[in-house]
Amino acid sequence: MPEHSSIFRIALIGPESTGKTTLCECLAKHYQTIFNPEYSRAYVENLGRKYLESDVIHCLMAQTSLEKQLIQKANKILFADTEAIMAGVWLKDVFNNSSSLIEKYISEYPYDLYLLTLPDLAFENDPVRENPHRRDYFFNWYEQELLKRKLPYTIIRGTGQERLRMAIQAIDNHIQHN
């Protein structure tokens, strides 16, 4: 966010069950900082009904609000376990709609780096996940969104420590060159 331009903001983006949360936790620990957890996961788990279009917007606004609070506590880097591109794709896919608010968030608050997680991990089913057979489809859609907007990103692949090492190398390289 512009108020704390000294904080390097990194968003993890990718299909369901591609290790974004685990990677956020490990990266925050490695860099001795914090991460913004995915608000929508807990929200939808506790909703008690099928989520609506307005819920997607609510989740993005809550996610962004939490990030504005957390960025003040971050140690040089803040990781985000989701962001506006994912909300926009979700809104378009589920409700065949788009939102000018989401587009505003994407264009006005881009991250310094996006880590795009490849769906090369086994799918772990849970009550919130919906698309076990569409992960490649969503991966390609997210990548197209990043390319269309000319946003800096690195594809993260592999398992366990290999995935973590790849992410750390991408972050360190990007920070060194910017």
The CATH number given to whatever domain includes residue 8 is 3.40.50.300
Which tokens hold the place of 78? 């803040």
Could you give the CA distance from residue 141 to residue 145 in angstroms, rounded to a whole number?
A: 6
pLDDT band at 3; cut points 50, 70, 90 = low
pLDDT band at 178; cut points 50, 70, 90 = confident
- The string of DSSP codes covering the chain is -GGGTTSEEEEEE-STTSSHHHHHHHHHHHTT-EEE--HHHHHHHTTSS---HHHHHHHHHHHHHHHHHHTTT-BSEEEES--HHHHHHHHHHHHS---HHHHHHHHHS--SEEEEE-S-SPP---TT---TT-HHHHHHHHHHHHHHTT--EEEE-SSHHHHHHHHHHHHHHHHHT-
Span 5-14, average pLDDT: 93
The neighbour count for residue 45, using CB atoms within 10 Å, is 11
Stronger pLDDT, 172 or 45, i.e. the higher one: 172
pLDDT of res. 2: 46
34-36 vs 113-117, strand pairing mode: unpaired
Chain segment 127-164, per-residue pLDDT in tens = 778 888 999 999 999 999 999 999 999 999 998 899 99
Chain segment 67-123, per-residue pLDDT in tens = 999 999 999 999 999 999 999 999 999 999 999 999 999 999 999 999 999 999 988
pLDDT of res. 123: 87
Task: Count up the domains in the chain and report the number.
Answer: 1
Span 5-33, average pLDDT: 95
pTM of whole model > 0.85? Answer: yes
Residue 39 has pLDDT above 50, yes or no: yes
- Domain holding 18, by residue range, is 2-176
Calculate the average pLDDT of the chain: 93
